[in-house]
Each structure stands twice: as C-alpha cells, then as structure tokens.
Amino acid sequence: MLKEHTESLYNQSFAHKSSKGPPKDEVLLGPGVFRQLNHPAFQSIHIQQCQAEDQEGNMITSVQTVLTCSKLISPSALSQVLRFLYTGTVDLTSVDIQALKQAAEFLGISDLLDFLRKPETQSDLSNNNLTVAGCQNMSEKLEEVCLTSGLFSDVLFRLDDGVVGAHKAVLMARCDMMAAMFSDNFLEGSAEIVDFPGVTRFALLEIQYYLYTDKAPRVTPSNCLAVLELANRLVLPRLVTLIENKVIQAMREVVKEGDEVFQDALNILQPSQIHNAHQLAKWCFAYLGQNYNNVCRSFPKVMKSLCPENQALLNLNRWPPIWYVKDFDLYERLSACLETEKPKTRKRQRIPSACLCFTGQAQNSSYNLAAMAAAPIEANKRSCIRPSEE
C-alpha cells in the first residue's frame, strides 16, 4: 500500500509539471530505485526503505527519498533555503550570502533571490525578515501546490462524504491536536488512512485552507456551523474567532441593505454556544432581542424550540421591554373605552352676537347708547300715570 501511494505521488508531481503527462518510457520510482539527475543543485535521487526503533524498542519501517546535493550547494546554504521555505525567514549571520544566492538561483527560488539582492540586505545582515508580499506569495504557492493540486500528501482522511489528502508536517506544525494525533502515542501516527467521523469534505478543506495559508476560511452564515464545530473540536481558538468575525460582518452587510437575517441568527445561536463561539452568540442574542416582536411573528415555532434558558434570556432582554408592551396595551384599551363612552353632542347653529365687553371710551359710549334707548320707555311710563295718583 505504501509503495503504491509513493508511486502515485510521484506520478501526480510529474504530471503537474508537464501538461501532457508523464512520457511512456517513464520508470515508476519505488523502494530501491536510484537515478542520476541532470540538475545543478542535485546529483541523484534514491528511494530506499529505512528502519528505525521507536521509544518502546519496536522496529518501524518506512520509505524515504534521499536527494544527493551537488558540490555547489553547501549544507549551511541548503539549511537556510529550507528555513526560508518553511518559515519565510533566513539567518544571514550563519551563512555566506554569496553561497545562499547561488543555492537560491540553482533551486529557482526567485523570492529569496530578490530579497538577497536588495542593497539593505547586503548592508545589514541582521535584517532577516522578508517582506509581507513575499510571505503572501509563499502562502499562495502552498495553496496552489498542496490544496488545489493535492500534491505530495502523505496521509488520507476518510470522511463522511469522501476522502481528503493532507500533509502531516503542516498539520502538526499548525495544530496541537494534529501533532498529538500523529505522534507515536496514537495509532494515527503510523496509519496511512485516518478515519474522521462526523466531518465533511467542505469543513476539512476550509480547516486546511486556514492551516496552510493562515487566512480566514471562506464561510457564510448558512454554512459556517460545520467549520466552526471542527475548529472547536481541534482546539483552534484563533480560527474560531476568525469565523465569528467573518460571519458577523456578513450578517451586518445584509442588515445594512435593509434585509433580515432572522433565520440565520436563530440557526447559529445555540450551536455557537456549544462550540465556544461566544462573540457570535452574543451578537445573535442582541439582534434577536432588538427585533423580538418581528421574530416571534415570523418564526414562532423556532422560537419555542429554543432551550428554556435562551427563551428566558431573550424575553428578559427583548426590545421593547415587556413592561412597556403591557403599559401600551393598557393605554390602548382605556383609550378605546373612553371613545365608546363619550356622549354624542348635537351641532348647534352659530348665532351672531355682539360682545359688550369694552373698555375705556367704548364702555362709556355703550352706556350712553343704553341710556338713550331707555329714555322713551321712561317717558311712556310717566304719560300713563293717573292724576289721582299724582
């Protein structure tokens, strides 16, 4: 099985270099095969079977590929080249810079060669950090070779919906759980195929994308739960935070456009609590509480399916609060009662009338007019008096 896996890896690597695939007379490499190479940096390649003892004294057999370097590549230069490929940095104080340049040129590492040719690198040997663009370029190449093309994988994960190849060295370097799993203390350390139940290909590929490129996984509010669960399962708290941030930003953008994310918030709320995504759970709580009445009207069954603690917490932090809803209800009922009990009044015709409430000269003039009007009446009274009464 291991021999066939090694041969298939070699075939995949050679086919990736040539679009036409391997030539017909190409000899498949296997244990014990030796070949001379026409390369400025390497003289030969030898695939051999090696044996070693573990901590318990058991013999472990493995197949290793041995490359013999040419005399133009010094051990210190090759060591710094490997350090650059693995970490993105070089230690210029422990190597001859000209020898390192030569090794980078023979191996075709353009990023390292451009870095060594800079004037500031020549003047300051302690400047061993590469540019951010160089590290990003390395990350993109690692994604292209290991993830997109799937080359040089040395372990296979059997998942619920398929098989995914991976690279032990990268997984062990970036994940403590993987480092422990592939150690000698567990059976997975020597297994070629590792069973990973309860995991989908999408979730594992996004985890690999983060571990290989150090970038946030490509998730959305609708498909983030599987990746979030696996990240918590592998004890990757930074990845959990990146997923939280990406999902919250995506839902905020939808809310800004005037749409609703009630369904996504309800689906994410309780799983995020289980998988230690506390920031995401708090955001969902706040959003559902601010839109409590609309959520209850739109998804009554989902709201009732939440655990009692979450229902109580949402009811306690709802907006508007329950006391305001009750008081407003009471106010509307009382207002309706007052409207029904108010008697109907008849409309009266408006009769024009004069107002005698004057001040100053106006009052005096009105008094004189009243006196003048009363004078004839007094005169008539006097004319009607009998003589005997006088």
What are 7-24's pLDDT values in tens digits? 444 444 444 334 333 333
Bigger pLDDT: 76 or 137? 76
Of 139-143, 178-182, 260-264, the least confident? 139-143
Bigger pLDDT: 30 or 243? 243
**Residue 4 banded pLDDT, cuts 50, 70, 90:** very low
> Is 292 in the same domain as 310?
yes
Question: Is residue 358 in some structural domain?
Answer: no
Distance CA 231, CA 198 (A): 13
Q: CB atoms < 10 A from the CB of 191, how many?
A: 13
**Residue 350 banded pLDDT, cuts 50, 70, 90:** low
Q: Is the pLDDT of residue 76 over 60?
A: yes
Distances from the Cα of 170 to the Cα of 166, 219, 321, 344, angstroms:
8, 22, 52, 86
Distance CA 336, CA 330 (A): 10
Instruction: Determine the pLDDT at residue 125.
Output: 57
How many CA atoms lie within 13 Å of 370's alpha carbon, on the beta-carbon side? 7
Question: Is residue 3 in some structural domain?
Answer: yes
Which spans in the chain are helix H?
Answer: 2-17, 75-87, 97-107, 110-116, 119-123, 132-142, 168-174, 176-181, 201-213, 224-233, 237-256, 262-274, 278-290, 292-298, 300-305, 308-316, 322-341, 361-383
> Is 86 in the same domain as 103?
yes
Question: Is residue 376 in some structural domain?
Answer: no
* 166 exposure class (CB count in 10 Å sphere: 0-12, 13-18, 19+): buried
Question: Is residue 19 in some structural domain?
Answer: yes
> Is 100 in the same domain as 138?
yes
Average pLDDT over residues 235-250: 96
> Is 47 in the same domain as 76?
no
Average pLDDT over residues 92-104: 90
Tally the residues of the chain.
Answer: 390
Bigger pLDDT: 30 or 267? 267
Instruction: Determine the pLDDT at residue 375.
Output: 54
Q: What is the pLDDT of residues 309-326, one digit of tens each?
A: 999 999 888 888 888 878
> Is 12 in the same domain as 76?
no
- Per the structure, the count of domains in the chain is 4
Q: Across all residues in the chain, what is the average pLDDT?
A: 80
Question: Is residue 368 in some structural domain?
Answer: no
Average pLDDT over residues 202-229: 95
Instruction: Determine the pLDDT at residue 357.
Output: 52
Instruction: Determine the pLDDT at residue 165.
Output: 93
Distance CA 86, CA 344 (A): 91
Share of the chain above pLDDT 70, in %: 75
Average pLDDT over residues 187-211: 92
> Is 49 in the same domain as 81?
no
Instruction: Determine the pLDDT at residue 19.
Output: 37
> Is 57 in the same domain as 90?
no
> Is 206 in the same domain as 332?
yes
Angle (deg, nearest 10), helices 75-87 and 97-107: 70
Question: Is residue 361 in some structural domain?
Answer: no
> Is 318 in the same domain as 332?
yes
How many CA atoms lie within 13 Å of 62's alpha carbon, on the beta-carbon side? 13
Q: Which of 267, 290, 293, 292 is nearest to 280 (CA)?
A: 267
Residue 281 DSSP label:
H
Instruction: Determine the pLDDT at residue 206.
Output: 96
> Is 34 in the same domain as 107?
no
The residue out of 106, 127, 145 marking a domain boundary is 145
Instruction: Determine the pLDDT at residue 110.
Output: 85
Tell me if 31 sits within 8 A of 1, measured CB to CB: no
- For residue 104, the enclosing domain spans 72-145
Question: Is residue 208 in some structural domain?
Answer: yes
Q: What is the pLDDT of residues 328-344, one digit of tens each?
A: 888 888 888 988 877 65
Average pLDDT over residues 137-165: 89
Q: Is the pLDDT of residue 37 over 50?
A: yes
Instruction: Determine the pLDDT at residue 251.
Output: 96
Q: Render 216-266 in DSSP notation, one character per residue.
A: -----TTTHHHHHHHHHHTT-HHHHHHHHHHHHHHHHHHHHTT---HHHHH
Distance CA 70, CA 59 (A): 32
The residue out of 306, 336, 366 marking a domain boundary is 336
Average pLDDT over residues 164-174: 92
The residue out of 36, 54, 70 marking a domain boundary is 70
> Is 215 in the same domain as 291?
yes
Question: Is residue 353 in some structural domain?
Answer: no
Q: Is the pLDDT of residue 75 over 70?
A: yes
Q: Which residue has the tokens 């995991």?
A: 199
Question: Token pair of 85, please?
Answer: 């490929």
Angle (deg, nearest 10), helices 262-274 and 224-233: 10
> Is 20 in the same domain as 52?
yes
**Buried/exposed 296-305: b ≥16 CB within 10 Å, e otherwise:** beebeeebee
Q: Is the pLDDT of residue 355 over 80?
A: no
Distance CA 357, CA 364 (A): 11
